[in-house]
Chains A and B, each alone.
Chain A
Amino acid sequence: MRPMTIAGLAVLGLLIVLPFGLKGYGIYILSLWIVYSIAAMGLNLTLGYAGQVSLAQAAFLGIGAYTTALLMKAGYPFFVGFGLSAGICFGVGLILGYPALRVQHHFLAFVTLGFNALVWLVFRNEEWLTGGTYGLMGFSRPSFFGVSTNNPVVFYFFSLALFLLLAFVLWWIVRSPWGRAFQALRENPIRANSLGVDVRRMTLLAFAIGSAYGGMAGSLFAPLVEFIDPQSFMLDTSLMLLLMVIVGGSGHFFGPILGALLVILLPEWLRFTEGLYLIIYASLVIVLLAVCPSGLLGLYERTAAAVRARSSDRRESAGGSAP
């Protein structure tokens, strides 16, 4: 077995065992990490693979959360809401992306920022539908085959299963010809175009799939928190998701998952420093990004490459001195 496979299985094993050693708070944080990981994985497809800076991921998270919450309140099963959240976000992603992706990089960031603000205003002002500032509550966690996910551990495993499924689908997409095309247009759109990659269509597709992941994460977010209001889907959430992707290492498959772990757990670990923890947290992020703009996985790759280069140098020099 390859070392990566062993490491993957070990992490999976840990994720299965971990909740049994934790209390409600720990399980809640783990579940939150899973939900944000799904949203960040989607953003990673847009940003890391297709090279487009989107500040609208929280809006998609919100669209998914409100869709699911409203449908569950109306008595529909969870998976109707889940599927519809993915579908609506994919559709909205296409509609937003079509005009928005005429511009790129920071221009696109501003367009998506505007979209996020717009969606937030709809959540807040359309009281008849969204409950306005009071938000929505009174929808219970889903049940499957008679097992209610009201128990935090059950809900955690339910989220973990969906997360693994979505991660697998994304892994497949990244390795498919689509994924290769996404990477080609990130690296050099002109060359990709000259090789017959339809840049516009591919970027749009990456954006729409990324948005659908945001929607599916939102769909899990609603029953996890059991309450949603517009505040949760403001620009700061979009920035937090962007931070997760960049800190973890954008363009790396596991980057956003690691980034989400860091962004969610680090403030918790630092909590013992009381009044200082936000300052330490912010400083650590600044130092990390200054030292290694390609994120944690970029840092790992760079270190691994340096170690490999050094050991091969040593081997060469050892070979050279031999008689």
Chain B
Amino acid sequence: MKFSKVAVAAAVGAAMIAGSAQAQSVKIGNVVELTGGGATVGNNWKNAVVMAFEEINAAGGILGKTVELTNYDTQTNAQNSRAMVQKALDDGSYVILGPIYSSSTKVNMILTQRAEIPQIVGSEAPFITTSGNPYVFRTSFGAAQSMPKLAAYLKDGVKASSVGVIWVNDDFGKGGRDTVITELKKRGISIAVDLSTEVGQADFASDVIKLKNSGSDAVFAYLHEEESARLLKEIKKQGLRQPIVGETTLMNQKVIDLAGDAANGAKGHVGLSADAPVPAVRAFAKKFEAKYGNKPDHNGIKGYVAAYTVKYVTEKMGKFDSKAFARTLHGLTISPKDEPGILMEVTWDDKGDVDRQSFLVEVVGGKQKIIEVLPKLGN
């Protein structure tokens, strides 16, 4: 009898401790590419997310609760990402962050939609926000927002009348390619050559020969980071004279690091850049570099913004409610005045697409140089 009383007391005590621990923390799942082909971008995102939640926790957490962040590795594999999102949901995540690769997001966002848990992703392929999923939110422009800006730049800035397009044949590349070609044609620019390349392709010699012989006024390259660097090196080797224009990845810091001199002269449109002439972004980049020893790329900024979005939206609601979170974020504008961690003013539309300032940049002397700041689309 005595024993059972002790046992009951212990059980109640344990339950209370567990209960209070639960009450003091909130779980957030970060499902991202930590290994495999997407490890570069995934780790940038992860490091920034970790840094952001460390800051948030140090400042007292969200509504007084500590954020308990768990990182799940998708291995840059779509099937695996689905399993990991399921695991993050099982673990009771309040919001899910990531992944970045569109091919993974496409497979796993169906799960968060079903569970009615918001998912803030780093993916840029158009279909993510056109499939009518009310729980998915971007952190950067989708191709549908960025490509019109880029096409306008090719017409007015580069003054090209024909463009050679080289792209990577996966969801990301194909989505961008389809959008940019439509936008270019709308502006009367012809497509001199349309080259599909493979994920992980090592040799771009024959592609560059085709670009060289195409007689186009400019080249538009839309590849992942490592492949972009290889392409730029080959372009330099073969002495291609056309301007090389890209969207975000081409001017990525990682590409600049890998391609060295060959990256100089590459230009295009960047949604987010660590070199943006925005003091908050520069300050973030400095903190990141001090902590991790390397400069963040746009994925780092996306991850950081995602974390602070969770904080701001939750505090605005005054409660932890996943369903209401998604409703609140639709149509919301967050300004750095209200939440410094958001870095730049950003607005989400009813589909989960973002709108914010963006930049035309050129790589000069191994660094991104901002040529022009483009206003928000909605302005």
Q: A and B bound?
A: yes
Give, as a whole number of angstroms, the nearest-CB distance from A123 to chain B.
12
B86 to chain A, nearest CB (A): 4
Other-chain residue from B107, B127, B169 in contact with A124 (beta carbon distance below 8 A): B169
| Given A24-B90, A229-B78: A135 touches B106 (CB 8 Å cut-off) | yes
CA distance A271 to B35 in the complex (A): 12
> Roughly how many angstroms separate A278 CA and B36 CA in the complex, as a whole number?
10
A137 to B103, CA, bound (A): 12
In the complex, chain A residues whose CB is within 8 Å of the CB of B51: none
User: Counting CB contacts under 8 A, is A25 at the interface?
Assistant: yes
The verdict on B295 contacting chain A, using a C-beta distance below 8 Å, is: no
Complex Cα gap A179–B13 (Å): 62
Are A25 and B103 in contact (CB-based, < 8 A)?
A: no
In chain A, positions 120-168 with a C-beta closer than 8 Å to chain B are 124, 132-135, 137
Could you say which residues of chain A place their CB within 8 Å of the CB of B83? 25, 28-29, 32
Binding site secondary structure of chain A: helix
Let me know if A176 is at the binding interface, CB within 8 A: no
Judge whether B79 and A225 touch: CB under 8 Å. yes
Residues of chain A within 8 A of B174, CB atoms compared: 132-134
Residue pair A231, B78 in contact (C-beta under 8 Å):
yes
Within 8 A of A (CB), among B79-100: 79, 82-83, 86-87, 89-90
In the complex, residue of chain B having the shortest beta-carbon distance to the beta carbon of A127: B174
Q: A28-B83, A132-B174, A134-B174 are in contact. Are A232 and B90 (CB under 8 A)?
A: no
A23 touching B90 by the CB < 8 A rule?
A: yes
A110: interface (CB < 8 Å): no
Asked whether any CB of chain A lies closer than 8 Å to the CB of B194, the reply is no
| A227 close to B (CB within 8 Å) | yes
**Chain A residues, Cβ within 8 Å of B77:** 231
Known: A225-B82, A229-B103, A231-B103. A134 touches B171 (CB 8 A): yes
CB distance from B200 to the nearest CB of A (A): 11
Instruction: Report the bound CA distance from A306 to B305 in whole Å.
Output: 62
CB of B183 closer than 8 Å to a CB of A: no
Assuming the contacts A24-B86, A227-B106, A278-B35, asked whether A133 and B78 have C-beta atoms less than 8 A apart, the reply is no
Give CA–CA (A135, B108) in the complex, Å.
13
Contacts A134-B127, A226-B110 supplied; 14 other A-B pairs, CB < 8 Å = A24-B90, A25-B90, A26-B90, A28-B82, A133-B173, A133-B174, A135-B103, A225-B107, A227-B107, A229-B78, A231-B78, A231-B170, A271-B73, A274-B71
